[in-house]
Chains A and B, each alone.
Chain A
């Protein structure tokens, strides 16, 4: 499912590869801090390598395995905000579940 060389992060595809920004936020909010930390550490360890592979392809015409890797990198952004900014899967003072609908995310995979 991922390009060769990324076998060690293959295990994250099932949970973290979701189609939209909103769902990536939801996956992170519903995970435990230990799960987010494990994903974050492993993804960061492969980030430079992943960005190099992704950069070889047009953003709107990626092979499926590269697109999956790209979406995992987007999920890393969601994990990073939890680890580096909020310090929790979600802000304890913000409503959860919340009523904010993301009608349209950034393109593609928004």
Chain B
């Protein structure tokens, strides 16, 4: 890191980038297009970092499970609620001939049976039964349980670590961000509006699309610009940026004067029970007020606040807006392809007016997300032309810079502990 960049630069007294001690120069496109760089990310970032996998509500009872494909680590992960109440992840791989055991992405089972030869495992991973067991040679069932994956839960979020013995605990990994966000409630965690797409773009191209608001007045000219910029902030500059080592956050600006236009009769119908501040949100439940009242949400207590985007290293965004919270996962499937999953959490509607509002929110979100992710494959193609070898980032794009800086750190560091400065 170049310390010199901390010195004042004319016109940049209020720079987030300088305040966070980051460089200000152009950045190489290599991390986005180089297969060799991707191999290093696989081994040194995804192979060593704690990875957010889901919510504990997704595995509510003993035997409830989810299966997640983790192409970037060549893993199929079976995450199971234990009889003891804890949550444990395993490789979804049979000890016999290594068939993948569970085929469905979620469910509940008292035990897990491989369809190939009916080897059966308990929810704790122990091998329970083997058909015609006595025809195996020197066989010790106790040694043939499922292979566990290190699992920890933070604030209801399930994380795994692919190191057989993680160098750092989840608390150490999340560091000061983990402390900052402790006690934040997550209302509506049991149900989400869920989107998924497989995109031909590096995972960071897609993460970057949700890590800055500079693009809002341009690409979201019709869908978001009126609510998220105005004459006082025409370029939708962020109203705050923070970093805690590799994790970072920015707060986006809200145009307080925004109200649905007079002739937007459908939009007004959707939000007819709501105050002006709740425009473009999925629900107005009381629990949302508890979330928004937490001191770590809109931490500067800005009146012109619309959302916080928390970028949890490496590939997880945990965002909060007036409507509640939403997440993005960016799962690499190759150096130039990604499975993107977004979930907007909301309670099932108790009445039709709420359901109508959720529908409007969902449809408008589809438009916004198509604008965002529709552009990512074009960015990837642009970078792959190699016409340019650098990208330029302005001050409002500081979160992208922080992510790239820390990916570089993790790739160069001999250990996760060193990368985290522990």
Binding site for B on A (CB under 8 A): 21, 24-25, 40, 44, 47, 51, 54-55, 59, 70, 73-74, 76-81, 83-87, 91, 93-95, 98-110
Contacts and interface: CB of A to CB of B under 8 A. Distances in A.
Given A95-B370, A100-B369, A51 B353 contact: yes
Nearest to B222: A85
Contact of A100 (B195, B351, B361): B195
B47 to A, nearest CB: 28
Contacts of A21: 193, 359, 362-363
A85 B279 CA distance: 14
Nearest to A76: B266
B350 A59 contact: yes
Interface in B212-243: 219, 222-223
A3 to B, nearest CB: 14
Nearest to A106: B358
A70 B377 CA distance: 37
Leading 8 A-B pairs by shortest Cβ distance: A80-B266, A94-B370, A106-B358, A107-B348, A103-B194, A84-B264, A104-B194, A77-B360
B11 interface: no
Interface stretch (B20-28, B116-124, B196-204, B305-313): B196-204
Interface string B340-383: 00000010111111011011111110110111011001000000
Contact of B355 (A40, A74, A91): A74
B324 interface: no
Interface of B: 191-199, 219, 222-223, 260-261, 263-267, 269-270, 282, 346, 348-353, 355-356, 358-364, 366-367, 369-371, 373-374, 377
A93 B197 CA distance: 18
B269 A105 contact: no
Contacts of B371: 91, 93-94
Nearest to A41: B265
Given A21-B193, A85-B222, A104-B191, 11 more contacts: A21-B363, A54-B352, A55-B353, A80-B266, A80-B270, A81-B363, A85-B264, A91-B223, A93-B374, A94-B367, A110-B362
Contact of B263 (A78, A84, A110): A84
A108 B355 contact: yes
Contact of A25 (B196, B346, B366, B377): B366
B349 A59 contact: yes
Contacts of A102: 193-195, 362, 366
Contact of A106 (B196, B270, B362, B377): B362
Nearest to B364: A81
B199 A99 contact: yes
B362 A101 contact: no
A50 B145 CA distance: 58
B349 A107 contact: yes
B195 A83 contact: no
B282 A106 contact: yes
B271 to A, nearest CB: 11
B292 to A, nearest CB: 21
A44 B345 CA distance: 29
B360 A81 contact: yes
A25 B364 CA distance: 10
B197 A100 contact: yes
Given A74-B356, A103-B195, A108-B355, A44 B266 contact: yes
A105 B193 contact: yes
A106 B346 contact: yes
Given A84-B267, A94-B370, A101 B358 contact: no
Given A55-B352, A91-B371, A108-B355, A86 B360 contact: no
Given A80-B267, A95-B370, A107-B191, A73 B356 contact: yes
A91 B194 CA distance: 21
Given A59-B350, A107-B348, A99 B363 contact: no
A86 B264 CA distance: 12
A107 B361 CA distance: 13
A100 B370 contact: yes
Contacts of B198: 99
B264 A80 contact: yes
A95 B369 CA distance: 11
Contact of B193 (A47, A73, A81, A110): A110
B374 A106 contact: no
Given A55-B352, A80-B264, A94-B370, A86 B222 contact: yes
A25 B223 CA distance: 15
A109 B362 CA distance: 12
A98 B36 CA distance: 30
Best-surrounded residue of B266, B282, B356, B364 (most CB of chain A within 10 A): B266
